[in-house]
Amino acid sequence: MSKPPGVTASAIVAMLGSTIFLVFASLIVVALFTEPPPSAPPDTIPLGIALAMTNMILGGLGIWTAIGLLRLRPWARTSMIVFAGFLGVIGLFGLMMTITGPMPAGSGEGFRWGVGVLFAIPMALSVWWLVQFNNHSTKAAFASSAADSGLARPASITIIAWMMLAGGLSCVFAIFTRAPLFLLGATLTGSTAGVLYAVFGALSLFIGKGLLDLREEARILGIAWSAVTIIHMGLITLVPPLRERLLEMQRVLTPDQADPVSFDLAVMMNVSFGVSAGLAALAIWFLIRNRDVFGREA
């Protein structure tokens, strides 16, 4: 079946965007070899390495996905749908903050409009890709390619797998930036947090790879991991003492701000819990619903 023009255009845009990520990563690497200013914080180098790695990974995945689109690989279509969803959420929240939130003093309305346009661009790309990769002709083209290659993995399982892989890679970023870990009301730092991030990251990567290979043990672990996510988010959101400890960690991390929680952090926590719990519940449902495809050769 012929390739829809919108797929080719999307691949070109993805390739250009990925190239920008790789160029930005290269600039960060170059900057790491220059002498930092005396006022630079001591964690500049670990943060720079983490940012460079993140941009290199995103750029590499984007180019890989663009090549997959040109070859009509079903996983590439799924990847674009997932990425379009992330772009849409980021653009929507950013646009809402731009419209309702305060702007820097003396910036004027022109600055607000400019920032709004910057967030409107990813929203427009999100809408385009969600429509493009869900219309009948595009789905038929990728379905034909899947039939020719004998792929049997449901799209929902592929999405869950890539979300697990992304979560594992985010743990690597947390290790390099020495981010604290909030676990069941306790704020962990240093090597303890790093070890736990490594364990969580390895587990997420194992589950993600196993789901791509349709392994039954990965399905069971994915259900359990999603259930733990719901329970943990529910505890720190709904139990008052744990909420207060999380707020206290926020105050410690932002000591230079007079009011680090001037916005309604409680509402933000509730929204985060709702989104995380909803996604985890959907993952559990799809993993149970598609149990028949596991344990076979993909």
107-151 confidence digits (pLDDT tens):
666 776 777 777 788 888 888 888 888 888 888 888 776 555 555
- Classify each residue of 228-266 as buried b or exposed e, where b means 16 or more C-beta atoms within 10 Å of its C-beta: ebbebbeebbeeeebbebbeebeeeeeeeeeeeeeeeee
Query: Are both 209 and 129 inside the same structural domain?
Result: no
- Whether residue 217 sits in one domain with residue 139: no
pLDDT in tens, 248-275: 666 555 554 444 444 445 556 666 677 7
* 220 shares a domain with 161: yes
Q: Please indicate, yes or no, whether residues 2 and 101 belong to a single structural domain of this protein.
A: yes
Give the position of tokens 């697990």.
164
- Residue that terminates a domain, selected from 135, 151, 167: 151
pLDDT for res 11:
86
Nearest CA among 126, 120, 122 for reference residue 80: 126
Considering 119, 151, 183, which residue would you say is the last residue of a domain? 151
Same domain, yes or no: 186 and 122: no
Do 158 and 298 fall within a single domain? yes
Residues 192 and 74 occupy one common structural domain: no
**Residue 210 near residue 165, CB atoms below 8 Å:** no
167 shares a domain with 24: no
Are 62 and 97 members of one domain? yes
Sign of the Cα pseudo-torsion (70, 71, 72, 76, in order): negative
Number of domains into which the chain is organized = 2
Q: Which domain holds residue 264?
A: 153-298
**Domain co-membership, 18 together with 47:** yes
* Residues 104 and 8 reside in one and the same domain: yes
Same domain, 172 and 298: yes
Select from 99, 128, 151 the last residue of a domain. 151
Q: What is the pLDDT of residues 52-70, one digit of tens each?
A: 777 777 788 788 888 888 8
